[in-house]
Amino acid sequence: MKIINNEQKMLDIIFAKRNKSYGAYALRSAYGSTLFRSLFIVFVTVATSAGLAHWLKDSPIKPTINDIVLEQDIVVRVIVCKIDPPKVPDQPVDRSEGGSTTSSETATLINEHTTDTTKQTVNTDPQPTNTATTAGTGSGTPSLTGSGSNTNTSGGGGNNDGPNIFVDESPEFEGGHAALLAFIKKHLVYPGPAADVGKQGTLYVKFVVDESGKVSNILLQNNLGYGLDDEAMRVVKMIPKFKSPGKVQGKPVKTYYQIPIKFKLG
């Protein structure tokens, strides 16, 4: 019996009389090195995972900074409807004996009805002698419609049906009606509460131009709320004296004047 050398592998003994080129010999020969590499890889993986977990646990978590996107500022556009003043044709005046004067005239009838159902009852004190009112359709395009007649006596007082009262000459603002609209547009500021909720709409503001051209008796024909009513009243109160008041038979009289102010966000 031969003594086996310590360096001789058991595999050589097993395959001593067998075909070593078949494949099994090569697999068993590489088994030891393959097992060593596998165990080394497993050890390194476990050690790396444990070290990484320990490092992540002890390191402080940095807060995530998100980009803050600010919405665009709301652009407030205040539109004042342009209104052409009514044109009243000259009419002949018949004077009777005894100083009493009676005039029969045809003037443009101003329709004060608006599309807003929340129109307030107009009650002014003192009552103006005659009115000349401008009104808008609510769509941004003003209009003046209708016709009528009125009879005035020497005092300038007119007999009228309902709110429709007439004058021979309408009040004239310094620079014309365009200057009046420009004045209102310049001083209007869109109220914050209305802008926050997206409130829009058209306010119809009626006031009296007295014999001296001063604006008084300011009334709102409808209400929008959210500070829009107060803003319209504030600006109308700032309107300076008209260049000339309304006139009947050449005599200055109190005259109604109405303007629509449209508040629109855009």
Instruction: Name the band, by pLDDT with cuts 50, 70 and 90, for residue 44.
Output: very high
**pLDDT of amino acid 85:** 61
Banded model confidence at residue 186, pLDDT cuts 50, 70, 90: very high
Residue 202 Cα distances to 120, 131, 137, angstroms: 14, 22, 10
pLDDT one-digit tens code per residue, 130-149: 333 333 333 333 322 222 33
Q: Is 134 exposed, middle or buried (0-12, 13-18, 19+ CB in 10 A)?
A: buried
The whole-number pLDDT of residue 87 equals: 66
Beta-bridge partners for 251: 248
Q: What does the alpha-carbon distance between residue 137 and residue 128 come to, in Å, rounded to a whole number?
A: 25
What's the DSSP call for residue 84? P
Lowest mean pLDDT among 30-34, 49-53, 87-91: 87-91
User: Model pTM greater than 0.85?
Assistant: no
> Tell me: the pLDDT tens digits for 223-257?
999 999 999 999 999 999 999 998 888 899 998 99
Q: Token pair for residue 96?
A: 């009777």
Torsion on CA atoms 179, 181, 184, 188, rounded to nearest 10: -130
Residue 86 has pLDDT above 70, yes or no: no
Written as six digits, the tokens of 173 are 């603002």
